[in-house]
Each structure stands twice: as C-alpha cells, then as structure tokens.
Chain A
C-alpha cells in the first residue's frame, strides 16, 4: 500500500503531468485514495498504469445522498508486481452525471460501468454499449440511489394478468 508520503508524491506527479487533475488525497486504514476531477479520469488512470497499476480490479458506484455532488464512481487499481492497491474516486452532480468511460482503455470496466449506469444513472460517454445490465431494459429509475424507496416495487403475478386486474392496486 502506498504510505501517506508516497501517496502525496504520487499526487504531485499526477498534478505535474495533468494540471488540476487531483483534488484531494486520503489515507484510510492503510490504503491510499485519490480524489480526481471527473474530466481527468482517463488521463489519470493512464498515468497510473504507467506507474505500475496495470490491473483495474473493480469499479464501484456510490450515492452520497444528501451531499452534493451526489454520485460517485470508484476505481480500484492493483499493482500485481509491487503488491499495491490504490483507489481513485470521482464525484459527479446529480443534474449532470456524466463521466468519460474508461472501457476503451480498460475492457474490464465494460460490465461494471453498465452496472453503475443501471443502478445509479451515471452516464459513461464513449462506452461502446451503455445499456441496463441487471434491471429490465424498460425499467424506470435507478434503484441503488439512496432516495429510491425500498420495497415500493409492485410484483406482477401471472394470475393477476389473466384477471386483467391492475397489479398496482
């Protein structure tokens, strides 16, 4: 794990190469995290790949309701030779939840970005096939958002369909 000093050095390197890219650094429970500007995500990940973080382990979506900017995307990077992990975070506002897709550079992000789009409504521009992945294609809303009600989903049973009864009542 990069220690707190190593993380600052890494952030400075990134700032030199890509001005205003890193907004903040955090070191929590022995692991470093970089907060980056959403527009800079592709060059930042590319620079980190050059630093040895060649494996994108995971991409997570987070909803920071009621804070703003509300939606977050987290990239878990892994350096397999130095046995090192690093989190890269970004935040986008709810009214413009747009991030550049990293799928062209990291093919593993394909399904995971689709999942975040499906669950949180973050739009990844440049994704080759941005469709819902887990929810039905005609589903409305993004169920993992914190203000999405739990258990508010009417269940459509086939027997009610045959009776032509409105299943929402």
Chain B
C-alpha cells in the first residue's frame, strides 16, 4: 500500500499564483478613453489633517484611476513666524525658539544657530563641549529616526513597530532629561558650549543604552527586512535618480539612498566630527527600500559615535571661558564684582555680535540643516533663516510619486520623513 504523494512544500500556494497572474502594470500607462468618453482626472485633497501625512501637510493629488499624475504640496498651516520672533530676541534667547522649528531635531536646530553665532563671534568652543554636543546630536538623530521608523511602519500597517520604537525613544528622552532637565526642546546647546556638564550616572545610562541599542536595531530589521508586505510596499517603489535629487537640492538619507555618500559630518566636519570613526551607509537604486535601509543603518553608526564620544570625552570646561558670552558660574557672583556685572549685562542685554552674515550648515537627520544669521552689530540678530531639509526635500515628492499608485504615495511620504514644524517654521 503506497502512501499518497504529497505536493512538494516549496510549491507556491495557488492564491499567490493567482495574485501574480494579475498584471496591473497596464494601469500605470495612460488609460485610453472608453466608448468615446473623455477620461477624467480626479483631483483629490489629502490633508491637512490626515494621519498619514505626518503633520499638517496638505496634498492636492491629481489622479487618473488609482494612479497619481500630479501632486502639489500646500504648506504653511503651522507657520508660527519663528524667524520673525527671533529678530526681537537677544541671541541666547533665540535658542529655545529655533529649537521648536523641526521638533524632532531640536539639538540640531540649536547647534546650527549656535554654530552660526559662534562663527560670527569668532568664538572657540572647548573640546569637551564639542564632544558633548556630538553625543547629544547623535542620540537625537537616533531618536528622530526612531519616530520616523515607528510612524512609517504604522503607515504600512505594522502597529507593533511603533511601540518598539517609542520604547527606545523613551530611553533617549530620559537621557536628555538627565542632562538638561527637559525631554524635548532641551536648550542644552548654548553659544560657546553646552549649558552644564553631564551629571553623575549619566555615562552609565548612556552606556547601557548603547549596549542594547544595536541589538534592538537588529530586531527591527528582523521584523521588517523579510516581511513580505514591507518588501512589496517598498522595493522598487518610487525611485528617484541621484541627478534629479541633486537638482532638487535633496540631501541626507534620501540622497544617500540613491548612492551618493554626501554627508557633512564626513565631507566638511564641524564640532570635532573628524575625531570619530563611523561609516556612511549608502543605497543603490534610491527606491523606498533603500531609504528605509539607509536610515536603519545610520542608527547603528550613531550608536558607535555616541560610544566613542563617551570613551574619548576630554577633560576641561564645558562652555567657553569668555565671560562676555557665557554666564559666570553661580559661586563667582557672591565674590566677584566683575562676574556680577557680566551676569547683569548678559541677562539684561545679551552679548553684542560683530556685524556680518554667516551660513552654518550641519548634517541633520533629514539632510543639510543650515542656519543663516545676519548681525547688524546689536545684541539681536537682524535675520535668522533656517534652510530646513524637510522644506527643500518636500519638492522631491511630486517627481517621486508621479505615475505611481496612490497607496505608494503614502509609503513614499513616510520614507521622505517630512517634519512640518521644520517646513513651516
């Protein structure tokens, strides 16, 4: 009696065959008019309040069937006039408001503004302060990418990723709270250095985080990298070539996903980035999958930088000794008349900055974050302008999603990672 032969287990299930037999590519071409009737384009308004637009972004989408033929982003819904407000505040009071532009990259905003002011002043920042800045910038980069990963996976239908990412983000916010007292908008980076030295127990906490984080990133990869849905939604979806990206001014992970290893931390180092050993992950074709993989790999590199910053943290002052710019230590106020005068001058008027114009670019989580500051010689900036990477990168949305499905528009927007606080300022 012979046992009935079973089909080999490697054989694809019939439903997969059926699914693959359907050729949807015809839809991507222009659909001919049926029966003489003119094929109509549908203009659909997405947003401004739509959970998948990652903020208050409104998109006017022109659809032909399910295919996006054109797209116009409409922005300005969270414009709060931060640049105008900055013109009415002395330099050190500008820091907390510029931090609120791109609300996921507050250390970067403060760093760009303080770097521009320090360039205007011709001020040397102590090495320890530079390392502490790098440490916090890279933790911030991981934090920003975690929010991106969690919300993007949510857009693709994976809700558990959101909880995992926000678990690690909480740890980073606790670290920020330890060093500055705030979880967000920390006002940690000051003109001339940082506000305070790291407290006792900070290093252990950061080291504990660095010990678990690479493994956690591996886990995210395990959950997503071989996930059929993720692969189908991301691979070969909405690619854009390097030349077009450069024309559109796109920088950051989006440009690196297309194979261009441009990273200001390596190319034009600032704040002692030349001391650190890290790699720049790049993609190959520049599709949504590359954008995802590049950011995931960037988080690992950031962990390496944080560890190196702790290992090599130099001794010395955490803020410049120049009393014309930085507040004197509290204990000096009781004994030194000069310290009292400096303190009074700084708190009432602030410091005066020599006239001039500078542009200070840094590598933010989303690309080149540049701060333009013009000084007229007074204690308030005459113009503060942020070249926000989200604002510039948003222009690439239309070329990316043209002639793609509307569902891919959501995935592409997630991989673009726009932060509307930074776009509208």
Contacts and interface: CB of A to CB of B under 8 A. Distances in A.
The answer to whether A binds B is yes
Interface in B365-391: 368, 370, 372, 374, 382-383, 385, 387, 391
B247 A108 contact: yes
A62 B76 contact: no
B247 A107 contact: yes
Nearest to A116: B385
B374 A136 contact: no
Contacts of A135: 76, 79
A83 B246 contact: no
Contacts of A56: 249
A62 B81 contact: no
Contacts of A144: 83-84, 383
Contact of B374 (A62, A80, A106, A134): A62
A29 B120 contact: yes
A83 B267 contact: yes
A134 B76 contact: yes
A76 interface: yes
B358 A29 contact: yes
B70 interface: no
A80 B374 CA distance: 25
A110 B72 CA distance: 12
A29 B356 contact: yes
Given A57-B387, A60-B372, A76-B387, A108 B267 contact: no
B76 A80 contact: no
Given A60-B385, A62-B374, A76-B387, A111 B358 contact: no
B392 A111 contact: yes
Contacts of B356: 28-29
Interface residues of A, number: 37
Nearest to B79: A134
A106 B372 CA distance: 20
Interface residues of B, number: 39
A29 B122 contact: yes
A61 B385 CA distance: 8
B173 interface: no
Nearest to B267: A83
B395 A107 contact: yes
Interface in A56-77: 56-58, 60-63, 74, 76
Nearest to A28: B356
Given A63-B383, A146-B382, A57 B267 contact: no
20 contacts: A57-B387, A58-B370, A60-B372, A60-B385, A60-B387, A62-B357, A74-B357, A74-B359, A76-B370, A80-B262, A85-B268, A85-B359, A106-B249, A107-B249, A107-B395, A108-B250, A111-B394, A133-B76, A135-B76, A146-B382
A55 interface: yes
A112 B358 contact: no
Given A57-B249, A135-B76, A150-B88, A28 B358 contact: yes
A127 interface: no
B81 A143 contact: yes
Interface in B58-86: 75-76, 79, 81, 83-85
A66 B243 CA distance: 42
Given A108-B395, A111-B391, A111-B392, A80 B359 contact: no
Nearest to B388: A58
The 8 A-B pairs of least Cβ separation, nearest first, read A108-B249, A58-B387, A134-B76, A134-B79, A60-B372, A60-B385, A107-B247, A29-B119
A80 B249 contact: no
A108 B372 contact: no
B32 to A, nearest CB: 30
Contacts of B395: 107-108, 110-111
B248 interface: yes
